[in-house]
Each structure stands twice: as C-alpha cells, then as structure tokens.
Amino acid sequence: MPAELFALTRPAHVAHVQLVVSDLDRVSGYYQSVIGLRVMDEGGSAHVLGVDGRPLLTLLHRPDAARAPRQAAGLFHTAFLVPGRTELAHWLSHAAATGLRLDGASDHLVSEALYLTDPEGNGIEIYRDRPPEEWPHNADGTVAMATERLDLQALLADAPQSAWNGMAGGTAIGHIHLQVGDVPQAEAFYRDVLGLKVMAHYPGASFLATGGYHHHLAANIWNSRGAGPRAENMTGLAGYTLHFNDRTMLATTLANLEAQQIAIAQTAEGHRFLDPWGIAITLSA
C-alpha cells in the first residue's frame, strides 16, 4: 500500500467537500467519467463519490437552487491530489484522448497542477506535489510559490501506456480554494480561530496550512471582493470537512470557536459551524 500523502499526515487537512448541484445526474456523471471518481453511495437526493473507499465529494441535489453568481463567496476550486507525476500524466492522457479542454496548467514550484470546471461552474484542480524537501522556502519559513507555465507535452511523455481506469488509488483532497469577501478577515478567521498558519501570499489571496504543508486552504478576492454571506438555496459550495489528526489542536480550535461565540452543532460527522461567508465547516477527528 502506498505511503499516505504528506498533505494528509499534517495535524489537520481537508478531507471532504460538499457541493449543491441542480442537475445531479449530469454533474455526477462528469466527476465519474472525466475526473475518475467512483460512486460510493447514490441516495435519491445525493451522490457520494470517492477513490478506493475514501469519500471525497458529496453532490447534494437541489433542482430549484439558483446558480451561484461568479462574484459570490464560495468555491474557487476543489483540489484533488494524486500520488505522483505518473498519475497526473495518466489523467492528462485520458483528458487529451477525450478532447477535454483545460482551463489552465501551472507549475507552482511546490506542485504541478491542471485546472478545469465542472458543468455547473465549480472549479477543479488536479495536481501532484513535488517532494516537500524540494519546496523552496523564504527566510521567514513561508513557502515560495509561483505560477509558471507547465509543459504539457513533457508531462504527457511520462504517462503510462496502459488504459486509464479512473482516478489513481491514494488520491485525496489536497486543499480547498475559496472565494471570500476580504482576505485579511479570512486570514484572521482561519489563522486565529481555526489555527492554520499563513504559508504564502499572492496579490489578493492568502494560503494557509497546518504542519508545514504549502496550503490546505486558500482564500482569494479575485472575483468576490466585498462579497457577503452566501444566499440560501444557491448552487456551489455547501461545506467541507477539516479532519484533525491532532486531537489537541481540535480541542484548541473548539475552544477558540466558543470564545468567539460561534454556534457549533454536533452532527454524526463532527462539529459543524459557519465561516464568515456562510460556508459550513465540519471538524472531525
């Protein structure tokens, strides 16, 4: 069995994402045939999709939901982390064979990433990490990231000749990238309340993580500057789960939430509350 991905061995990491969709069959089919996830559960109003028995994405069916406007707070992209460059190349060869058009492809120094959008406008990143010992760092300990052109032909040259058979085993959610109304407010919440550390800045964006990862969560205002809380019954991001390997950190986070008088609901999945933009976060351990 392959070693657990570095991103998932940190004190806390994003484990699961929930999206509201108006056309469940169409969007679910896309995540299966294009992204390569497998159905784990398909109740009447929701599909749970994942890899190797690990649930990664739940699609909640609300046919009357209004399409989220581009400038609304919510999801920028869900980032699926594959085990390595060979697996990323294999997925790219599948995409090329099906004539899929990518939104972008970038070398971020710490990772190589491919970008696309699902049928209802939800952003997707598929990426692989370089080994952490190869990541460049700044003098203050933050990670040096950039957005450089990724050579797709060179990546394709590393693809196996075997048939693509769905997303590679070991794939997980590496991070979630959010659209928010204000970056300093997001930083204050995710750093001071949830305990994540700021790892990098771009103009209009902040990248945060636990345990020295380059980012488990990012927040930007590129489309959403000044956005308020999300409206009810809107497509897009319903919520996500932050899973804690470090129970002491979880206890500290819960105490911070209580000190801020943020309402917490106990659910079967964990401790659920809303961030400043009305996005549901569940803390699990």
Number of alpha carbons in the 13 Å side-chain half-sphere of residue 237: 30
Looking at residues 25-32, what average pLDDT do you find? 98
- Identify the bridge partners of residue 122 per DSSP, sorted by sequence position: none
Arithmetic mean of pLDDT over the chain: 97
Tens digits of residue pLDDT in 80-107: 999 999 999 999 999 999 999 999 999 9
pLDDT interval class at 2 (50, 70, 90): low
pLDDT over 90 at 174, yes or no: yes
Q: Are 172 and 81 a contacting pair, CB within 8 Å? A: yes
Q: What is the dihedral of CA 231, 234, 236, 238, to 10 degrees?
A: 70
Looking at residues 154-176, what average pLDDT do you find? 97
- For residue 141, the model assigns a pLDDT of 87
Tens digits of residue pLDDT in 199-220: 999 999 999 999 999 999 999 9
Tens digits of residue pLDDT in 47-80: 999 999 999 999 999 999 999 999 999 999 999 9
pLDDT over 60 at 1, yes or no: no
Looking at residues 166-170, what average pLDDT do you find? 97
% pLDDT > 90, the chain: 97
Q: Are 253 and 283 a contacting pair, CB within 8 Å? A: yes
Strand intervals (E) in the chain:
12-21, 38-43, 46-51, 54-61, 74-81, 104-107, 111-117, 123-129, 148-149, 172-179, 197-202, 205-209, 217-220, 236-244, 265-266, 271-274, 280-284
Through-space distance between the first and last CA atoms of the chain, rounded to whole angstroms: 23
Looking at residues 25-41, what average pLDDT do you find? 98
- For residue 89, the model assigns a pLDDT of 98
- For residue 43, the model assigns a pLDDT of 83
Q: Is the pTM for the entire model greater than 0.95?
A: yes
